[in-house]
Amino acid sequence: MTALNIGIIGVGNIGSLHASYLTAGEIPHAKLVAIADIDPARLTAATARFGALTCYDSAAALIADPAIDAVIIATPHYFHPLIAAEALAAGKHVLSEKPAGVYTQAVQRTLDVAAQHPELTYALMYNQRMNPAYQKARALVQDGTLGELRRTNWIITDWYRSQSYYNSGGWRATWAGEGGGVLLNQDPHQLDLWQWICGMPSRVMGFTYNGKRRDVEVETEATAYVEYENGATGVFVTTTTETPGTNRFEIVGSRGKLVIEDQRLRLWLNAQDEADFNRTYQGGFGQPDCREVPVDTVFDGDSGHQKIVKNFVSHILDGAPLMSPAAEGLRGLSISNAIYLSSWEHRWVDLPIDGAAFLTALNQRRATSKYDAAAGFSGQVLDTKGSY
Ligand SMILES: NC(=O)c1ccc[n+]([C@@H]2O[C@H](COP(=O)([O-])OP(=O)(O)OC[C@H]3O[C@@H](n4cnc5c(N)ncnc54)[C@H](O)[C@@H]3O)[C@@H](O)[C@H]2O)c1
In what helix (H) or strand (E) does residue 263 lie, and over which residues does it extend? none
Which tens digits make up the pLDDT trace of 251-268? Answer: 999 999 999 998 899 999
* Residue nearest atom 27 in ligand 1 by C-alpha distance: 75
Taking a C-beta distance cutoff of 8 angstroms, is the pair 267, 147 a contact? Answer: no
* Probe residue for ligand 1, chosen from 9, 14, 380 as the CB with the greatest number of ligand atoms within 8 Å: 14
Task: Return the best residue to mutate from 83, 86, 311, 377 for the ligand 1 pocket (most ligand atoms within 8 A of CB).
Answer: 377
CA of 10 to the centre of ligand 1 (A): 6
* Closest by CA position to 385, among listed 134, 58, 16: 16
Residue nearest to atom 7 of ligand 1 (CA): 14
Give the closest residue (by CA) to ligand 1 atom 14.
13
Q: What is the DSSP string of 19-43?
A: HHHHHTT-STTEEEEEEE-S-HHHH
Judge contact between 387 and 305, C-beta under 8 A.
Answer: no
Cβ pair 215, 174 in contact under 8 A: no
Q: Which atom from ligand 1 is nearest to the alpha carbon of 169?
A: 19
> Which residues, other chains included, contact 236 with Cβ-Cβ below 8 Å and sequence gap of 6+?
153, 154, 156, 190, 191, 194, 222, 223, 224, 226, 339
pLDDT for residue 101: 98
Asked if residue 93 lies in contact with residue 121, where contact means CB atoms within 8 angstroms, the answer is: yes
Angle, alpha carbons 362-365-370 (nearest 5°) = 135
**CB under 6 Å to ligand 1: residues?**
9-15, 36-39, 42, 59, 74-77, 79, 97-98, 125, 127, 169, 185, 377-378, 381, 384, 387
Ligand 1 centroid distance, CA of 18 (Å) = 11
Mutate which of 37, 130, 185, 387 to test ligand 1's pocket (most atoms within 8 Å of Cβ)? Answer: 37
* Amino acid sitting at position 376: G
Distance 82 CA to ligand 1 centre (A): 14
Query: If you measure from the C-alpha of residue 350 to the centroid of ligand 1, how many angstroms do you get, rounded to a whole number?
Result: 31
**Max alpha carbon distance in the chain (Å)?**
76
Per-residue model confidence (pLDDT) at position 300: 80
Q: How far is the CA of 23 from the centre of ligand 1 (A)?
A: 19
- Tell me: cis bond preceding 66? Omega within 30 of 0 counts: no
Predicted model pTM: 0.96
How far is the centre of ligand 1, averaged over its atoms, from the C-alpha of 96 (Å)? 10
Query: Is the Cα dihedral 274, 279, 280, 282 positive or negative?
Result: positive
Measure 258 CA to ligand 1 centroid, in angstroms. 34
- Please give the Cα distance from 356 to 161 (Å, whole number): 31
Residue nearest to atom 4 of ligand 1 (CA): 14
What ligand 1 atom has the least distance to the C-alpha of 127?
A: 1
- d(CA 2, CA 313) in angstroms, rounded, equals 10
Q: Whose CA is nearest to atom 6 of ligand 1?
A: 14
Q: What is the pLDDT along the chain (388 residues), one digit of tens a residue?
A: 899 999 999 999 999 999 999 999 999 999 999 999 999 999 999 999 999 999 999 999 999 999 999 999 999 999 999 999 999 999 999 999 999 999 999 999 999 999 999 999 999 999 999 999 999 999 999 999 999 999 999 999 999 999 999 998 789 999 999 999 999 999 999 999 999 999 999 999 999 999 999 999 999 999 999 999 999 999 999 999 999 999 999 999 999 999 999 889 999 999 999 999 999 999 999 999 999 999 988 888 889 999 999 999 999 999 999 999 999 999 999 999 999 999 999 999 999 999 999 999 999 999 999 998 776 555 555 565 555 5
